[in-house]
Chain A
């Protein structure tokens, strides 16, 4: 099912060269829009606020609906309409149930980097026609639908309930790794920096196609692994 050739990792040493030239400008912290205020969205928003990002969170309806959730669970973030949150964002995190993605309009996130944190898991989501195509990974299908956006796959393979507790400062011996997969090197670099700043080692995969290794049933899904273990698990599976 996997295509070994596409599963090559980007060597760790070249990570720096992907990243934006320096730490984010002190004048303006990068802005994140988190779409989804269910199980996952508020947790991602919370760790992003902690990492110093300017974060807006949006549900599918008016911001008043998620005002209290935002205030209590994500202090420091703003509840906004999705369109407003996205318009001001450097990065959009998609944390909605896959069945909601079927009616998600691609125009909303046009020209944005979109972090796809979703998973397609038929036994948990029911069978969704859109994602029932073994030729593609779920993020490749998301990219096809969001044809004016740049999709990067990450954050989908860590349980949302671990995302806050498992963070560690860079260099900690028990720092966990997360995969970051995408076709656009610059976008992958930008997202990898977010992952690193949140508190994880970013392991880069060279394409969205290779991101299939991060999916449910794959070698790293739900697994707590350090960078070297993570890389070994990906390579073993791809071999």
Chain B
């Protein structure tokens, strides 16, 4: 089932949803302290040699990083190498002009290190918050990605649509220094989103949060064939997967499982996730499941296998889960950068 090997360099990222972490007495930290900790985590990711640091937009008490681009700007000011981006930003409930302006500003601050991963809306609390009807998410995304693609080209934009006011030969600033920044489309299971990414020439980020990663292999093939059909050159394919790295398999699993259960319980009502059992969890952290939980060796092997199966060249580990401690997250980041990533490179060399 292995796909054709990717022609793009291997790239490794870390994504966070900015979960509210807990202190040593297992009490939740404030939103403000959680955000300051995310900045520290981003700086450590840079020091640990990781290529990308991404923040996923959420608007809830458990996930308070609603303005991820501001946090990324703080990280940009303290780093020189790591790329910074959304993972994902819910474009459907945002204004593409503002998204372009914010990330173009981040690109300026960071000296060309901004990336954007666009999402159609799996985290849905932004819709009522900003006055959108969830039923429109498909149409909203279709229009807004179209405008966003226009803005990325640079130069004055003329655009007409139903979801925001028209633009007539409008100059949108700040201009980028060196052309468009990298844009990805996060895809959780919609084949139309794969085709859409190919149509606009955006890279594909497969968000695989449950079940067998191998079942996404046809999506990689669909992306490559769609690019060909649209007369475009090949583009990178990435995988976003949740997990937790600790010194040993047992430690990683013991730290992660209770937090995972808590978080899925808390969001199951609104997101439609089934409550996991210990049995389903063990399946998910095993070789055929979607979670990357374990020692550096275990996680590295799983990443290497899945990149091969999916014909992907990039892996973003979504680290952090509810009340895990800031310290546990720092350890995870360090182990990922210094042990997991080199080991995956070795396995795939």
Please report A residues at the B interface, Cβ cutoff 8 Å: 37-39, 42, 68-69, 71-73, 97, 99, 121, 123-126, 128, 159-162, 164-165, 216, 221-224
Q: Report the bound CA distance from A165 to B135 in whole Å.
A: 29
- The residue of chain A having its C-beta at the shortest distance from the C-beta of B132 within the complex is A126
Which residues of A lie under 8 Å from residue B195 when comparing CB positions? 68-69
**Apart from A68-B195, A165-B212, what are 15 other A-B pairs with CB-CB below 8 Å?**
A37-B191, A38-B192, A42-B191, A68-B222, A72-B221, A72-B225, A73-B191, A73-B222, A121-B272, A123-B124, A126-B127, A128-B135, A159-B210, A161-B189, A161-B210
Which residues of A lie under 8 Å from residue B215 when comparing CB positions? 161, 164-165
> Chain A nearest CB: distance from B267 CB in Å?
10
Q: Is the interface of A mostly helix, strand, loop or mixed?
A: loop
Q: Report the bound CA distance from A205 to B50 in whole Å.
A: 53
Query: Is the CB–CB distance between A69 and B211 below 8 Å?
Result: no
A-B contact pairs, 8 of them (CB 8 A): A37-B192, A38-B191, A38-B192, A73-B218, A123-B271, A126-B127, A161-B215, A165-B212
B280 at the interface (CB under 8 A from A): yes
Which residues of B lie under 8 Å from residue A69 when comparing CB positions? 191-192, 195, 222
Query: Is the CB–CB distance between B280 and A224 below 8 Å?
Result: yes
B134's contact among A37, A71, A124, A221, by CB below 8 Å, is which?
A124
B233 at the interface (CB under 8 A from A): no
B273 at the interface (CB under 8 A from A): yes
B269 at the interface (CB under 8 A from A): yes
Q: Report the bound CA distance from A161 to B212 in whole Å.
A: 8
Q: Report the bound CA distance from A165 to B218 in whole Å.
A: 14
Query: Is the CB–CB distance between A124 and B218 below 8 Å?
Result: no
A72's contact among B188, B222, B280, by CB below 8 Å, is which?
B222
B229 at the interface (CB under 8 A from A): yes
B253-299 interface with A by 8 A CB criterion: 269-274, 280
Q: Report the bound CA distance from A124 to B128 in whole Å.
A: 11
B169 at the interface (CB under 8 A from A): no
Query: Is the CB–CB distance between B135 and A126 below 8 Å?
Result: yes
B133 at the interface (CB under 8 A from A): yes
B190 at the interface (CB under 8 A from A): yes
- The residue of chain A having its C-beta at the shortest distance from the C-beta of B127 within the complex is A126
Query: Is the CB–CB distance between B273 and A222 below 8 Å?
Result: yes
- The residue of chain A having its C-beta at the shortest distance from the C-beta of B228 within the complex is A68
Q: Which 4 A-B residue pairings sit nearest by Cβ, starting from the closest?
A: A222-B274, A126-B134, A99-B135, A161-B211
Query: 1/0 contact trace for B99-125 toward A, CB 8 Å?
Result: 000000000000000000000000010
Query: 1/0 contact trace for B216-227 toward A, CB 8 Å?
Result: 001101100110
Query: Is the CB–CB distance between B270 and A124 below 8 Å?
Result: yes
Which residues of B lie under 8 Å from residue A223 when comparing CB positions? 274
Which residues of B lie under 8 Å from residue A221 when comparing CB positions? 274
A123's contact among B188, B191, B225, B269, by CB below 8 Å, is which?
B269
A160's contact among B127, B189, B280, by CB below 8 Å, is which?
B189
Q: Report the bound CA distance from A125 to B124 in whole Å.
A: 9
Which residues of B lie under 8 Å from residue A126 when comparing CB positions? 127, 133-135
Q: Report the bound CA distance from A161 to B189 in whole Å.
A: 8
Given known A-B contacts A159-B210, A224-B280, A124 and B222 have beta carbons under 8 A apart: no
